[in-house]
Structure 1
C-alpha cells in the first residue's frame, strides 16, 4: 500500500492564495474609476486620506511593538521573527510613519520568559490576521493609491500570519 503523506495542521497554501486573490479582486473593485483626488464623487478628502495613512502607520508601529515584545520574551525566536519585524518596520515607513528603533537595540540580553514559544507565535499570528482584516475593510473608503498600499500590506500581513503558524 503506498504511503500517503500527512498534511500539517494550519492554514493551507491554497487558503493563503485565495485570500490574496480576494484582496486583489477587492483592490481592483476599489481602485477602478476614481483617481483619489479631492472633489470627485465619493472620493475622500486630502485630510481624510492623511488620517487613514496616519492610522495605518500607527497600526503598523503597534504591531512592531508586539514583535519587540515577542523578541524580548523569547530571544531565541530572533532568526524567525527578525525578517518579519523588519518588513513591518518598512510598512510603518510606507504609510509615512517614522522609523521605529528596535526596543532590543542596546538592551542587555533578556532571559527567557515562561511564555511558551508557540503561544508567542500564535499571538503574533492573530495580531497579523486581525490587522490584515482591518486593512482589507478600509480599502472601501481609501483612494486608489492608498487602497493599493493597504491591499499590499494586508497581503503581507496574511503571509506573515501563515509563516508564524507554519514551521
Structure 2
C-alpha cells in the first residue's frame, strides 16, 4: 500500500442529479402541505391568539389610563408629574389597537359616576369609578402598584404572543416598570 493518498476520480459530496431530485421533492411536498394546511389567520393577517393578546393589552392599558385620569382628577397638583406618564400609557393603548379619539385623550376623565358624566348608568366592570387614595404619596403608590402589576402580567403574556407582539409587550412592560420606579422615586 502506498503511504500517500491517491486522488479520487469522483468528486466528494452529493451529485448534481441527487441535488435536483431532492429540491424537486422538497418543493412538491411544500406545495402539497401548503394546500392542505388550515389557517387561523384573519383577513388582516393576524392570528386569533394575537388578536386576543392585543385586545387584552389594550383593555389593560385603558384601565391603567382610567386610573391616571382618576388620580389627576383627585390630585390636580400632580398634573406636571403624571402628564408625561399618562401620555405614554395612552400611546401604549393605541399601539395595541385600542384608544380613544385623539380629542378625548388630552383631557382627564372625572372620577365621578358614569351616569353623571353622560355615560350609561350601567358601567362595565372595567369602567367602574376608580377609588383614589386621598394622600398625594398614597395616590402615587397606587399608580406605581398598578404599573408594576400590569408590567408583570405583560411579562407573562409574552409566552403566548407571536414574535412581533412579544417585542411590543416586552417594551411596554419595561416602560411600565420604569413608570413604577419614577412614581416611587421621591418616596425613598
TM norm. shorter chain > 0.5: yes
Count residues with an aligned counterpart: 120
2:74 aligned partner: 73
1:6 aligned partner: none
Where structure 1 has 5 or more consecutive residues not aligned to the other structure, the ranges are 1-37, 40-44, 108-112
Largest Rg, 1 or 2:
2
1:145 aligned partner: 164
Counterpart Cα distance in 2 of 1:156 and 1:114: 24
The TM-score, its normalising length taken from structure 2, stands at 0.59
Deviation for aligned residue 1:123: 0.3
Counterpart Cα distance in 2 of 1:89 and 1:150: 15
Would you say the 8 A contact 2:133–2:139 is kept in 1? no
Q: CA RMSD in A?
A: 2.2
Change (3 A) 1:136 1:105: closer
Q: Secondary structure at the match of 1:166?
A: helix
2:86 aligned partner: 85
Instruction: Tell me whether 1:159 sits opposite 2:178 in the alignment.
Output: yes
Would you say the 8 A contact 1:124–1:161 is kept in 2? yes
Where structure 2 has 5 or more consecutive residues not aligned to the other structure, the ranges are 1-38, 41-45, 111-131
Instruction: Tell me whether 1:126 sits opposite 2:145 in the alignment.
Output: yes
Indicate the structure whose relative CO is greater, using CA pairs within 8 Å and at least 6 residues apart.
Answer: 1
